[in-house]
């Protein structure tokens, strides 16, 4: 496809929305079209990324959950897994998941906010909200410390040990100061020479960012220095680890998409799950 046709198609795209949200075609102003064109041309001006390597996912075991949630953020801290949930028409919660799958609700603001990405940095816990454009900061006991403003929608959240890294559903990853959420850097996520949007849940592991691609069964590994997708895994094999009842329940719910990546550096295990899934899978990425 030539550059001119690619730009035309990009302009014609309808804005993404979350499931069950009423939406219509986006109305582009002259300014928004100019910004969009600049982003497309800017991405094409960058050197193409190498083609991604292929990864698999080998399941070691699974954790049966005592309480399901609409997973938006997933993180390992200590011996437990922590989950941030949000649901249109449902409730937002912060939950602790023990190794045996027992779930404890830590914080439940109900429908006041739509919870999103979650990460632990130093002695603080950070949680994004979606359309509220807020970042909630808690201490190690999950007591609220402060709230910061986010100029973007909140989607996935992780950190590199110094800065927060988050997405807003666009092809961008943003680096933000944990003290005031001031954005210090931005990279554009690309597969070869094409922009990749719908970047959702994030996990920073060994200098790379693992990300769910919303509405797909894909997890990609991104180089945060240049935005290139280095490797990708299609996790359709997880469905073969489910019984027929679980497969039916998940497949019949359009919102129950793959979403949630956490990493335990002590056990060197990844944990992956989906929205309203009754289990979390633990395992390793292979290849790539």
**Cα–Cα distance for residue pair 194/190, rounded to 1 Å:** 5
**Could you state, in order of their start, the residue ranges of all structural domains in the chain?**
1-45, 52-287
The mean of the pLDDT values for the chain is 87
Residue 25 has pLDDT above 70, yes or no: no
Least confident of 4-13, 100-109, 182-191, 210-219: 4-13
**Cα–Cα distance for residue pair 200/222, rounded to 1 Å:** 12
Residue 56 has pLDDT above 60, yes or no: yes
DSSP state, residue 113:
S
Q: Note whether 173 and 161 are within 8 A (CB).
A: no
Q: Note whether 127 and 117 are within 8 A (CB).
A: yes
Q: Note whether 157 and 120 are within 8 A (CB).
A: no
- Assign domain 52-287 to its CATH superfamily: TolB, C-terminal domain (2.120.10.30)
Q: Note whether 66 and 249 are within 8 A (CB).
A: no
pLDDT digits (tens, 9 = 90+) for 65-74: 999 999 999 9
Nearest to 160 by CA among 196, 194, 127, 122: 122
Q: Which residue has the tokens 């035309």?
A: 8
**Cα–Cα distance for residue pair 116/71, rounded to 1 Å:** 8
- pLDDT level of residue 112 (50, 70, 90 thresholds): confident
**Cα–Cα distance for residue pair 175/228, rounded to 1 Å:** 16
User: CA angle, 42 as apex, 37 and 48 as ends, to 5°?
Assistant: 130
pLDDT of residue 33: 42
pTM of structure: 0.85
Residue 109 has pLDDT above 90, yes or no: no
pLDDT digits (tens, 9 = 90+) for 180-212: 999 999 999 999 999 999 999 999 999 999 999
pLDDT of residue 45: 65
DSSP state, residue 238:
G
User: In the chain, what percentage of residues exceed pLDDT 90?
Assistant: 78
Residue 44 has pLDDT above 60, yes or no: no
């Amino acid at each position: 496809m030539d550059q001119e046709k690619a730009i035309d198609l990009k302009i014609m795209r309808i804005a993404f929305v979350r499931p069950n949200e009423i939406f219509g075609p986006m109305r582009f102003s002259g300014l928004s079209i100019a910004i969009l064109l600049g982003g497309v041309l800017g991405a094409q001006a960058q050197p193409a990324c190498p083609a991604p390597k292929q990864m698999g996912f080998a399941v070691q075991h699974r954790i049966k959950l005592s309480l399901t949630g609409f997973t938006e953020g997933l993180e390992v801290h200590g011996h437990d897994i922590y989950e941030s949930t949000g649901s249109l028409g449902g409730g937002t919660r912060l939950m602790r998941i023990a190794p045996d799958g027992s779930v404890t609700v830590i914080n439940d603001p109900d429908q006041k906010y739509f919870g999103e990405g979650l990460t632990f940095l130093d002695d603080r816990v950070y949680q994004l909200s979606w359309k509220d454009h807020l970042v909630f900061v808690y201490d190690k006991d999950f007591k609220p410390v402060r709230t910061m403003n986010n100029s973007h929608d909140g989607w996935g959240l992780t950190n590199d040990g110094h800065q927060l890294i988050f997405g807003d559903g666009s092809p961008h990853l943003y680096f933000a100061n944990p003290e005031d959420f001031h954005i210090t850097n931005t990279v554009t996520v690309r597969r070869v020479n094409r922009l990749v949007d719908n970047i959702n849940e994030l996990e920073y592991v060994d200098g790379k960012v693992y990300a769910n691609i919303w509405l797909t069964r894909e997890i990609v590994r991104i180089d945060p220095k240049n935005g290139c997708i280095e490797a990708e895994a299609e996790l359709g094999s997880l469905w073969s680890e489910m019984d027929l009842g679980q497969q039916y329940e998940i497949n019949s719910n359009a919102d129950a998409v793959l979403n949630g990546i956490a990493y335990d550096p002590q056990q060197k295990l990844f944990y992956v799950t989906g929205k309203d899934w009754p289990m979390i899978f633990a395992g390793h990425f292979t290849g790539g």
